[in-house]
Amino acid sequence: MRKSLAGLRLERARAIPLHQQIAQYLRELILGGELSNGSLLAGSRVIASEIGCSRSVVNDALELLCAEGYLEAVDRSGFKVALEPPVCGHQPPSTRSPYRTTPRLRVDQFSNVWKLLLSEDYEINPMSPFSPGAPEIGSFPFDAWARIVRQTWRTPERQLLLAPAPQGVPRLRDAVADFLGSVRGLLCRPEEIVITSGTANSLDLLARMLLNPGDAVWLEEPGFSEARWACSAAGGQLVPVPVDESGLIVSEAIKRAPNARLAIVTPSNQYPLGMMLSLERRLQLLEWAYQQNAWIIEDDYNSEFRQPGNMIASLKSLDKTGRVIYVGTFSKIMFPSLRIGYLVANKVFADIFARGRARIDLHTSTHLQLALANFLRSGLLIRHVRRMRAVYAERHDAVVHEFRHQLADHLDIPTSGIGLHFVAFFTQSLAARISDIEAASRTRAAGVFVQALSQCYLTDPARQGFIVGFGQVQTEAASRLVGTIAACLARH
């Protein structure tokens, strides 16, 4: 009996041409073993009337499949299947092909690294007003940015369109060097800079460059989850190191893993707790790295928002032996989806990094880099950063005020510094009643997402609290939003 195609429903609203939809349907039947080798297909007139299209569309599909080797024309009688479906194991015929349309995939079919990455429950919601680290995007000068992006595209240079730039476009590296000098007080040369696709990308590539599987890595506890994931993916052995009011406790780190290859730290504004790494600890850390030939990654994720008179010198600026790699990002001063960041290291390191990176990641979108270089040169970004310092200071004060006012019985908020978030610790009595994960899930159910502090810990016991972003909280909305959180905690 000739095979019909009556089961096919053509979708005319889709962008895929009708003859391609027919061809794809037949390919799947053949590869899935449902149309066996030698089966004769119904004639094109019959098929066309079954599925409701013109005969020429059906003929186009059948001829395409002949050209691809699935079908063969049979004298005057139409087309027959000309392919034995690939057999996979000894499963029943209906499930034996590996080409079935809905493959059943389970995480255990993937690498241990992937399993590890997916094993952790971790909740964020970058759209939430309280999302830590999310900047205010409403005030960004998009008109000017769009003009610059358009100009960059209108006159693309051949070199930029064709040649990879694993270290980053020179014009952007020049502009970033100037930007770091004027906004961050970090003196560096363009050849010491590599443009990356943000801090997460820098950490991933650096972890792969610096760690062998099993190498110990010091990570702040609590700390930045992306650092943890990058090191896990590179096979590193994660060594959580507690922090106190002076930042990472270096003596404890040395006790736990003296031979670590790498330490990842946030010295200017510990993530997420916000303290600064003391000078004594900085010198201790540098000395350890020098003695051990170990590396330090300095994640300086939001120093740009400090007032100039209050700018803390980077750890990198104290490093005389080239063990510190400074990592920065445009995610906070522009927007996170931009995916542009940078690292600063000595010239030889930057060059070796870029050569390896060229093999696995190539480079960050060149045209965006060029647009960003022009944007930085225009002075508009610096102006935006200055304006946002004042906006964030005001929002910080408004949100902290509301938390202290409405949640004094439940949350402690230590004096917090700069940036886009602060931490509100659960009081003992609240922590005895509810975990931060459970509390966060209650506020989420009430429509307000806040991140639980315990997610940033690698080991128990984790301190309980909320990491509260305020970058996106309009001051007028602070009272209402915090009120929702207060109601959730009170009801419990």
CA–CA gap between residue 419 and residue 395 (Å, rounded): 11
Measured CA angle at 433 (ends 428, 435), to 5 deg: 85
Closest contact distance (angstroms) between CB of 302 and ligand PLP is: 8
Nearest to ligand PLP of 203, 411 (CB atom): 203
Is 129 an interacting residue with respect to ligand PLP (CB under 6 A)? no
CA–CA gap between residue 457 and residue 413 (Å, rounded): 19
Q: Considering only residues 166, 190, 247, 341, which one is a binding residue for ligand PLP as defined by CB under 6 A?
A: 341
Stretch that binds ligand PLP, among 197-205, 210-218, 305-313, 404-412 (CB under 6 A): 197-205
Q: Are 51 and 59 in contact (CB under 8 A)?
A: no
Q: Considering only residues 329, 366, 374, 443, which one is a binding residue for ligand PLP as defined by CB under 6 A?
A: 329
DSSP state of 458: S
Q: Considering only residues 271, 288, 349, 375, which one is a binding residue for ligand PLP as defined by CB under 6 A?
A: 271
Closest contact distance (angstroms) between CB of 199 and ligand PLP is: 3
Nearest to ligand PLP of 271, 470 (CB atom): 271
Nearest to ligand PLP of 18, 227 (CB atom): 227
CA–CA gap between residue 471 and residue 389 (Å, rounded): 10
Is 266 an interacting residue with respect to ligand PLP (CB under 6 A)? yes
CA–CA gap between residue 437 and residue 123 (Å, rounded): 9
Other Cβ atoms closer than 10 A to 90:
6
Residue with the two structure tokens 């030889």: 348
Is 364 an interacting residue with respect to ligand PLP (CB under 6 A)? no
Nearest to ligand PLP of 161, 360 (CB atom): 360
Q: How is residue 472 written in tokens?
A: 């996106």
Nearest to 277 by CA among 288, 287, 266: 266
CA–CA gap between residue 401 and residue 404 (Å, rounded): 5
Size of the site for ligand PLP (CB under 6 A): 13
Stretch that binds ligand PLP, among 9-17, 73-81, 196-204, 452-460 (CB under 6 A): 196-204
Is 200 an interacting residue with respect to ligand PLP (CB under 6 A)? yes
CA–CA gap between residue 447 and residue 290 (Å, rounded): 49
Q: Considering only residues 97, 128, 152, 199, which one is a binding residue for ligand PLP as defined by CB under 6 A?
A: 199
Nearest to ligand PLP of 78, 129 (CB atom): 129
- For 145, counting Cβ atoms within 10 Å of its Cβ (0-12 exposed, 13-18 middle, 19+ buried), the class is buried
Is 455 an interacting residue with respect to ligand PLP (CB under 6 A)? no
Q: Are 399 and 478 in contact (CB under 8 A)?
A: yes
Q: Considering only residues 70, 179, 224, 375, which one is a binding residue for ligand PLP as defined by CB under 6 A?
A: 224
Q: What is the binding site for ligand PLP (CB under 6 A)?
A: 133, 198-200, 224, 266, 271, 299, 301, 329, 331, 336, 341
